[in-house]
Amino acid sequence: MSLILAIESSCDEMSVAILKDKRELLCNIVASQIDTHRLYGGVVPEIASRMHVECVSTVLKTALNEAQIDLHDIDAIAVTKGPGLVGSLHVGMQAAKTLALAYHKPLIGVHHIAGHIYANELVEDIEYPCLCLVVSGGHSELVYMKHEFSFEVIGQTLDDAIGEAYDKVGRVLHLPYPGGPVIDKMAKTGQHSYKLPLPMNDDSYNFSFSGLKSAVINLKHNADQRGEEIVAEDLACSFQDVAIEVLVSKTIKAAQDYQVNEIIVAGGVSANSGLRQSLKENSPIKVLFPPMAYCTDNAAMIASAGRIMYENSQFSPLDLSVKPSYDLEKESVGK
């Protein structure tokens, strides 16, 4: 039995969730600032942390109210410690430490990517060993998980993360921020008519998306200079097809090489409809995706990872610091 209160504030969402046991989610409040950052075409860190300060108490109160839970009954306070924007992370961390200190509760600092991975367990048990494809705004990684809470990063992007590439392509096509979900939608009505390079088409498990992103940007700029019209839906479809092809082929190859039981997907780009369809169609083994509501940043996923850390007594000292980058492999629990 456990009752975990979790706080996630690593980027532009302030979120508080309360999770009872493995998957009885009593609340998952997400206060998004996307409408504000959209005005600037991307997240402005200084604005993000200031807006977090303004809303953290309200989000916490709303969560406790919706869950009908008294803070005294909580078993532990889980909080994202990184990676993320330092100013944003600080706000969630200070709130978590204050609650832990005032209510004499253990503090659990959760790695943001471990949170994304365990969003999958909010619906179904993960079968180990498994291979996780992590695809978010800041990460593109292949993680081998021999057992619960063990993380071996076997491949990663050498430059841009896939979500970042989506958002930059969105910007050059003058789409609202974030470009990822908009491109996903446009790609459905477009044709794969533009020829783009297949990035890092090699035997490694690494990715590279900056060449693909630059190819799209150059194609658009050259067309603009010549006064030619670009069919935005077709360019979105061509970009998405190529990005998905490399993600899916490398994931399946790694899953076969490591002889895993299951492929799981994590991070904001796991919401992508093309990726979902292609992985499901091409994978010879089971593929697990997080429910759509828990793909992008939310505290339910931090509570889910925090619940496992609570059971493993992985508690954090009250002088825990936030960091823009934390090593995922160091979070592993030996078995």
Taking the complex as a whole, how short is the minimal distance between the CB of residue 302 and Zn ion, in angstroms?
10
Structure tokens at 82: 């990184």
The span from the CA of 6 to the CA of 28, in Å, is 9
Taking the complex as a whole, how short is the minimal distance between the CB of residue 313 and ligand KG4, in angstroms?
27
According to the binding rule CB under 6 A, does residue 268 interact with ligand KG4?
A: yes
According to the binding rule CB under 6 A, does residue 131 interact with ligand KG4?
A: no
Taking the complex as a whole, how short is the minimal distance between the CB of residue 297 and Zn ion, in angstroms?
4
According to the binding rule CB under 6 A, does residue 82 interact with ligand KG4?
A: no
According to the binding rule CB under 6 A, does residue 296 interact with ligand KG4?
A: yes
Q: Give burial (CB, 10 Å; 0-12/13-18/19+) of 27.
A: buried
Sheet with 140-145, side-by-side order of all strands: 152-156, 140-145, 130-135, 262-266, 286-288
| Identity of the amino acid at 107 | L
Only segment of 131-139, 229-237, 244-252, 300-308 that touches ligand KG4 (CB under 6 A): 131-139
Comparing CB distances to ligand KG4, the nearer of 155 and 180 is 180
Taking the complex as a whole, how short is the minimal distance between the CB of residue 191 and ligand KG4, in angstroms?
19
Q: For residue 119, which of 329, 305, 328 has the smallest C-alpha distance? A: 305
According to the binding rule CB under 6 A, does residue 137 interact with ligand KG4?
A: yes
Q: Which parts of this chain interact with Zn ion (CB under 5 A)? A: 136, 297
The span from the CA of 117 to the CA of 110, in Å, is 12
According to the binding rule CB under 6 A, does residue 184 interact with ligand KG4?
A: yes
Comparing CB distances to ligand KG4, the nearer of 100 and 190 is 190
According to the binding rule CB under 6 A, does residue 190 interact with ligand KG4?
A: no
The span from the CA of 168 to the CA of 210, in Å, is 10
The span from the CA of 44 to the CA of 36, in Å, is 9
